[in-house]
Amino acid sequence: MNVVVCVKQIPDPAAPSSLDPTTHNLVRTGKLILDDSDSYGVEMALQLAGQVEGSEVTLVSMAPGGEVSGLRTALAMGAAKAILVSDDALAGSDALGTAKVLAAAIRRAQPDLVLAATESTDGYTGTLPVQVAELLGMPSVTFAKSVAVEGSKVVVERQTEAGYDEVECPLPAVVTVTAGVVEPRYPSFKGIMAAKSKPVDTLTISDLGIDPSEVGATGARQGIVQVAEAEARSAGEKVVDEGDGAQRIVAFLEQIKVI
Amino acid sequence: MAVNKIWVLAESGESGPLPLTLELLTHARGLASTVEAVSWGADVASAAAVLGEYGASVVYDVGDLAGALPGPPVAAAIASLVKGGNAPDAILIPATYDGRDVAGRLSAALDRPVLTNVTGLNVDEDLRTEHQVFGGSHTVTARFTGEGPGIFVIRAKSFAAEPGTGSAAQVVAAPAPDTGATGAARILNRHVEERSGPKLDEASVVVSGGRGLGAAENYALVEELASLLHGAAGASRAIVDAGWVPYSHQVGQTGKTVKPTVYLACGISGATQHLVGMKGSKNIVAVNKDQDAPIFSVADLGIVGDVHKVLPALIEALKARG
């Protein structure tokens, strides 16, 4: 079974973020890391691949400047190889442009199953995996709480407003997993060493036969008109609990007539 | 570019159209002269009265999906209407599990980009969206520059729902074309989880827990407190990622937006990712050990203290009131 995991390499979410004042693109300087949200997909892929003899996990990513540091983290967890699409023409791409690039790269890996996070931590548009599925002509099951491969189909518990649905879907398919559904493994020292020599196939958009006008800022067909500071909410009273914290909350709830 | 016609993806739940559906219809009424809805399910006709009251003159009925997930057939039905020459200027889609599936499918099928996490939508020459970024410290205004229809995925609680004076929407059948392999997923069973209180995004009181609870079992304190206040229990991303509580409880950028009368943040530091989902609450109370926690910068009442002491005491005090 060929399992592909879409992974995004993002600026450290703990670092302050900003928009470029001219292009309004998210500033991506400094080292990129594996999006935490993707570690669940990687772990899920490794677990599922481990259950089917002869399976392999391939990572697919798009990042500027040939960035591989996040990919190395996922390779160290146990993925076999990676496809990275890196091209200056991709700067300013939106979710649909990115989906076109990833779909073309994923097709090369001839996947039985494509896993992704429900959304990235930095851009969080949350539409990319389904756009990829539509472009690949595959079914998709989003917001999976659990995933099991049974022969030529996948059975998924899908989060709903009311609880969850048990969904059956023939392979190949795209499945997005919510965070917290598996515990991502820490790369072992051996894994980290092995990851350094695992193959990363770096491609440009012309390798994938994609027209530059389809991607990047031009392909995005959207623009930022302005960025303004939002009205800040001001802090109220802050008190150190001297054993009266609960009573203060009760008094506050009474004052706003909640109790 | 004038905005003449807007479509709203009218998702329904157990008790008729979702509140978010009605929020979108209400807002669309103020933007365009013609508002129409697209819906699906076994009984769209019975929702037509409410959809009409909130502004839809027509509801396109994709019909019963026979266990298919809504994304592929609903998107295919909309794409078919658009390609058939019946294109609106904009399609407003609720930011729900199924809404996001429809948006992604539709975007790829029509080759149109999507603007997501929209919290404001106005006409200023053309449609302008607002998005909260960096934890809500900044508002980005954006627009489409290409050919329409524009696809917008809109977060809950961005607009207020108010009924208008419209009569029942006219139901027009709009069955989905064959979706082939893309529509092959089937729902085998639906599991409804017991919920004693209100829904998280509809509750007037929300009590949320974070990493400061220390351990998964301490989330029971949050649930008990929420129950005593007739509210709903929420969570920070940190404890959802850690597997303590399911994703459905998550409040924040990658979770739900809540705007209750009061929000109690227990052991939540207040990362920007969390703040954007709750800072629209009318009142905010925070309990956290760390006096420098960012959550205190938005709290009306901040208690610098240990949740393991303050929460049990608060629960006792509320119980004592009966």
Cβ distance A161 to B97 less than 8 Å, yes or no, reads yes
Are B39 and B164 found together in one domain?
yes
Q: What is the pLDDT of residue A207?
A: 98
Alpha helices by DSSP H, B184-283: 219-228, 237-241, 272-278
The Cα B236–Cα B213 span in angstroms is 11
Are B66 and B100 found together in one domain?
yes
Interface of B with A in 219-248 (CB under 8 A): 229, 237, 240-244, 246-248
For residue B108, list chain A residues with Cβ-Cβ distance below 8 A.
96, 99, 130-131, 134-135
Interface of A with B in 27-86 (CB under 8 A): 36-37
Q: What is the chain B residue with the closest CA to A242?
A: B305
**Banded model confidence at residue B1, pLDDT cuts 50, 70, 90:** low
pLDDT digits (tens, 9 = 90+) for B38-92: 999 999 999 999 999 999 999 999 999 999 999 999 999 999 999 999 899 999 9
Contact status of A226 with chain B (Cβ, < 8 Å): yes
pLDDT digits (tens, 9 = 90+) for B103-135: 999 999 999 999 999 999 999 989 999 999 887
Cβ distance B304 to A241 less than 8 Å, yes or no, reads yes
Calculate how close chain A gets to B66, using CA atoms only, in Å: 13
pLDDT over 80 (residue A185): yes
Are B174 and B228 found together in one domain?
no
State how far the alpha carbon of A209 is from the alpha carbons of A120, A203, B279, in Å: 26, 11, 45
pLDDT over 60 (residue B197): yes
Are B160 and B210 found together in one domain?
no
pLDDT over 60 (residue B209): yes
Cβ distance B107 to A131 less than 8 Å, yes or no, reads yes
CATH of the domain at B262: 3.40.50.1220
Name the residue facing A180 among B192, B205, B247 (closest C-beta).
Answer: B247
- B117, B221, B241, best to mutate vs chain A, most A CBs in 10 Å: B241
Calculate how close chain B gets to A50, using CA atoms only, in Å: 22
End position of a domain, from candidates B183, B216, B240: B183
ipTM: 0.94
Percent of residues in chain A assigned helix, strand, coil, to nearest 5: 30, 30, 40
Mean pLDDT, rounded, of chain B: 95
Contact status of B310 with chain A (Cβ, < 8 Å): yes
Q: What are phi and psi of A195, to 5 degrees?
A: -60, -30
Name the residue facing A248 among B103, B147, B301 (closest C-beta).
Answer: B301
> A5 by DSSP, 3-state: which?
strand
Q: Put residue B168 in one of left, alpha, beta given phi > 0 → left and psi -120 to 50 → alpha.
A: beta
- Percent of residues, chain A, with pLDDT higher than 70: 100
pLDDT digits (tens, 9 = 90+) for A14-68: 777 778 888 887 776 778 999 999 999 999 999 999 999 999 999 999 999 999 9
CA dihedral of residues A226, A229, A230, A233 (deg, nearest 10): 180
pLDDT over 80 (residue B282): yes
Q: How many domains does chain B have?
A: 2
CATH of the domain at B145: 3.40.50.620
* Residue B85 neighbours by CB under 8 Å, 6+ apart: none
- Edge-to-edge strand order for the sheet containing A2-6? A200-203, A81-85, A56-62, A2-6, A113-117, A173-177, A140-150, A153-159, A163-170, B186-192
Calculate how close chain B gets to A186, using CA atoms only, in Å: 14
- Domain annotation covers residue B47: yes
- The helix (H) or strand (E) run that includes residue B311 is helix B307-321
Are B228 and B120 found together in one domain?
no
**Strand ranges, E, within chain A:** 2-6, 9-11, 32-34, 56-62, 81-85, 113-117, 140-150, 153-159, 163-170, 173-177, 200-203, 222-229, 237-240
- Domain annotation covers residue B94: yes
Angle formed by the axes of helices B97-110 and A95-108, nearest 10°: 80
Q: What is the pLDDT of residue B4?
A: 95
Say if residues B235 and B210 touch (Cβ distance below 8 Å).
yes
Contact status of A110 with chain B (Cβ, < 8 Å): no
With 0-12 / 13-18 / 19 or more C-beta atoms within 10 angstroms meaning exposed / middle / buried, residue A152 is: exposed
- Domain annotation covers residue B137: yes
Contact status of A167 with chain B (Cβ, < 8 Å): yes
- Domain annotation covers residue B194: no
Q: What is the chain B residue with the closest CA to A229?
A: B138
Which 8-state DSSP code applies to residue B318?
A: H
Are B131 and B210 found together in one domain?
no
Contact status of B140 with chain A (Cβ, < 8 Å): yes
Are B176 and B213 found together in one domain?
no
Q: What is the pLDDT of residue B15?
A: 87
Mean pLDDT calculated for residue range B291-314:
97
- The helix (H) or strand (E) run that includes residue B152 is strand B150-154
For residue A215, list chain B residues with Cβ-Cβ distance below 8 A.
none
Mean pLDDT calculated for residue range B222-240:
97
Contact status of A212 with chain B (Cβ, < 8 Å): no
Contact status of A217 with chain B (Cβ, < 8 Å): no
For residue B279, list chain A residues with Cβ-Cβ distance below 8 A.
233
Domain boundaries, chain A: 2-220
- Domain annotation covers residue B158: yes
For residue A170, list chain B residues with Cβ-Cβ distance below 8 A.
181, 184
- Percent of residues, chain A, with pLDDT higher than 90: 85
Are B79 and B36 found together in one domain?
yes
Are B286 and B178 found together in one domain?
no
State how far the alpha carbon of B47 is from the alpha carbons of B13, B26, B36, B50, B61, in Å: 11, 15, 13, 6, 11
- Domain annotation covers residue B193: no
For residue B13, list chain A residues with Cβ-Cβ distance below 8 A.
161-162
- Domain annotation covers residue B92: yes
Q: What kind of fold does domain A2-220 have according to CATH?
A: Rossmann fold (3.40.50)
Are B219 and B173 found together in one domain?
no
Are B274 and B231 found together in one domain?
yes
Percent of residues in chain B assigned helix, strand, coil, to nearest 5: 35, 30, 40
Name the residue facing A256 among B262, B299, B309 (closest C-beta).
Answer: B262
pLDDT digits (tens, 9 = 90+) for B20-41: 999 999 999 999 999 999 999 9
- Domain annotation covers residue B215: yes
pLDDT over 90 (residue B166): yes
For residue B237, list chain A residues with Cβ-Cβ distance below 8 A.
179
Mean pLDDT calculated for residue range A185-205:
97
What is the token pair recorded at A200? Answer: 């990363």
* CA-CA-CA-CA torsion sign (A96, A102, A105, A107): negative
- The helix (H) or strand (E) run that includes residue B110 is helix B97-110
Calculate how close chain B gets to A201, using CA atoms only, in Å: 26
Contact status of B170 with chain A (Cβ, < 8 Å): no
End position of a domain, from candidates B135, B150, B183: B183
- Which structural domain, as residue segments, surrounds residue B306? 205-321
| Cβ–Cβ pairs < 8 A, chains A and B | 291
The Cα B234–Cα B231 span in angstroms is 10
Mean pLDDT calculated for residue range A107-120:
97
Contact status of A128 with chain B (Cβ, < 8 Å): yes
Q: What is the pLDDT of residue A72?
A: 98
Are B213 and B104 found together in one domain?
no
Contact status of B103 with chain A (Cβ, < 8 Å): yes
